[in-house]
């Protein structure tokens, strides 16, 4: 397939490649988890001769039957590009450049984000968190006044439409029914859906976020930050949430009292399981609830 990709890149991006006789080299990469399912992506970094860094990134799948993975990722990236165009956040994500689909092969071409994957420590986490809060503030300012005013109904709809077993749906609804969401008003803000250490690239003070498979999974603000803290250290995530969420909610102009934070955290926690189906397959609603109570000391 590389031969086809090279041909298309030279055809479509003559200005970037610098001529039709250019020789491109390809570095194939897939994450340790890629290969478990046919929907998993395969990535190629494209290098020009003698260049130390790639100038393009190509994403494909192992069978054309899984083409929706590529299309979805490309569309999600375009969505983020549209939201951040001409802002100081436009380099936070790669640029979706081209989608090739000839009915047999499918691949997308995008730019490469600067930075490298780095193990997060508290200091780096703070850099990422601050940048992400600012980015979300920017989106909130441009969300055309769309708010979630009835959180309970918002979540009930998600649960009812989910693939959870009916008995599990009932238990989660019962648990949420005991909580109060009165007075909460959150602006709808698109969430990346998978802000993890693996998807964050750092370079000096710049933060880039890759892997757009879950972009738009929810527009409930705070989901990304919660996920970032939870996956950084689940037992410290409550402390981190209380440290950063007040500033976050002020910046995105959300109305929520601190006494309602834990209720919201459960919703994030539950959505996190809903996002990754394999998490749901491993645990029941009872386990989700009891684990949450342990981690968040409720």
Partner 1 sequence: MNDIKNHIKIIDDIPFFSEDSYWGKAPKEELEKALKVLEEKGWEYFNANYQNKFDFTFEENRADWRFNIPIDKNFVVLDAGAGMGRNSIPLARVVKKVVAFDSSFLRIKFLKKRAEKESLDNIDIMVADLFNMPFKQNSFDLIVMNGVLEWVGASDKFKNPREAQITALKICKNLLKDGGYLYIGIENRFAFAYLKGFDHSGLRFTSYMPRFIANWYMFLRKGKRYDTYTYNIKGYQKLLRDAGFGGANFYLAYPGYNCPRTIIPYDNLNILAYAIKNLMPENTLRRKVSKMVVGIKPALWLYRKLFFSFSIIVKK
How far CA 269 is from CA of 94, 140, 193, 244, 256, in Å, comes to: 28, 22, 13, 17, 18
Q: Which stretch binds partner 1 (CB under 8 A): 62-70, 82-90, 164-172, 222-230?
A: 62-70
CB of 104 to partner 1, least distance (A): 6
Decide if residue 53 touches partner 1 (CB under 8 A).
yes
Q: How far apart (Å, rounded) are the C-alpha atoms in residues 164 and 284? A: 9
Please tell me the count of residues contacting partner 1 according to CB under 8 A: 36
Q: Which of residues 23-42 bind partner 1 (CB under 8 A)?
A: 25-32, 34-38, 40, 42
Residue among 48 and 79 whose Cβ is closer to partner 1: 48
Decide if residue 11 touches partner 1 (CB under 8 A).
no
CB of 25 to partner 1, least distance (A): 5
CB of 8 to partner 1, least distance (A): 13
| Paired strand residues for 43 | 29, 59
Q: Which two tokens stand for residue 195?
A: 């802000």
Residue among 10 and 254 whose Cβ is closer to partner 1: 10
- Kindly report the CA angle at 148 between 176 and 93, in degrees rounded to 5? 105
Residue among 31 and 87 whose Cβ is closer to partner 1: 31
Instruction: Write the interaction track for partner 1 spanning residues 83-112; mark x where CB under 8 A is met and - where it is not.
Output: ---------------------x--------
Judged on CB neighbours under 10 Å (0-12, 13-18, 19+), 234 is middle
CB of 202 to partner 1, least distance (A): 11
CB of 30 to partner 1, least distance (A): 5
Q: Which two tokens stand for residue 16?
A: 């970037």
Residue among 66 and 173 whose Cβ is closer to partner 1: 66
Contacts 24+ apart (CB under 8 A), 265-268: 265/226, 265/238, 265/241, 265/292, 265/296, 266/175, 266/176, 266/179, 266/292, 266/296, 267/151, 267/155, 267/176, 267/220, 268/220, 268/222, 268/223, 268/226, 268/227, 268/230
Decide if residue 231 touches partner 1 (CB under 8 A).
no
Residue among 73 and 136 whose Cβ is closer to partner 1: 73
CB of 235 to partner 1, least distance (A): 22
Rounded to the nearest 10°, the torsion over CA 217, 277, 28, 14 is: -20
Q: How far apart (Å, rounded) are the C-alpha atoms in residues 266 and 244? A: 17
Decide if residue 22 touches partner 1 (CB under 8 A).
no
Residue among 116 and 294 whose Cβ is closer to partner 1: 116
Question: What is the CB neighbour count within 10 angstroms for residue 139?
Answer: 21
Interface residue list for partner 1 (CB under 8 A): 1-4, 25-32, 34-38, 40, 42, 44-45, 47, 50-54, 60, 62-65, 104, 116-117, 119
């Amino acid at each position: 397939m590389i031969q086809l990709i090279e041909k298309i890149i030279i055809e479509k991006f003559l200005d970037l490649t610098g001529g039709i006789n250019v020789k491109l080299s390809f570095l194939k990469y897939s994450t340790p988890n890629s290969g478990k399912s046919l929907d998993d992506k395969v990535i190629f970094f494209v290098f020009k001769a003698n260049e130390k860094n790639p100038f393009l990134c190509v994403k494909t799948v192992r069978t054309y039957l899984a083409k929706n993975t590529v299309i979805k990722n490309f569309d999600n990236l375009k969505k983020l590009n549209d939201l951040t165009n001409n802002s100081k956040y436009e380099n936070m994500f790669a640029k979706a450049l081209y989608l090739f689909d000839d009915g047999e092969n499918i691949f997308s071409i995008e730019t490469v984000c600067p930075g490298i994957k780095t193990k997060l420590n508290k200091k780096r986490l703070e850099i990422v968190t601050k940048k992400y809060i600012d980015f979300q503030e920017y989106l909130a300012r441009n969300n055309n006044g769309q708010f979630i005013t009835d959180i309970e109904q918002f979540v009930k709809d998600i649960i009812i439409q989910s693939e959870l077993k009916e008995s599990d749906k009932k238990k989660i609804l019962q648990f949420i029914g005991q909580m109060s969401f009165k007075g909460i008003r959150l602006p709808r803000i698109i969430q990346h859906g998978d802000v993890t250490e693996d998807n964050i690239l750092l370079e000096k003070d710049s933060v880039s976020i890759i892997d757009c498979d879950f972009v738009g999974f929810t527009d409930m603000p705070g989901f990304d930050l919660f996920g970032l803290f939870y996956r950084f250290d689940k037992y410290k995530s409550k402390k981190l949430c209380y440290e950063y969420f007040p500033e976050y909610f002020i910046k995105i102009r959300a109305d929520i009292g601190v006494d309602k934070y834990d209720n919201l955290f459960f919703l994030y926690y539950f959505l996190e399981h809903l996002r990754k189906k394999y998490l749901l397959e491993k645990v029941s609603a009872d386990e989700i609830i009891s684990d949450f109570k342990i981690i968040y000391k409720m």
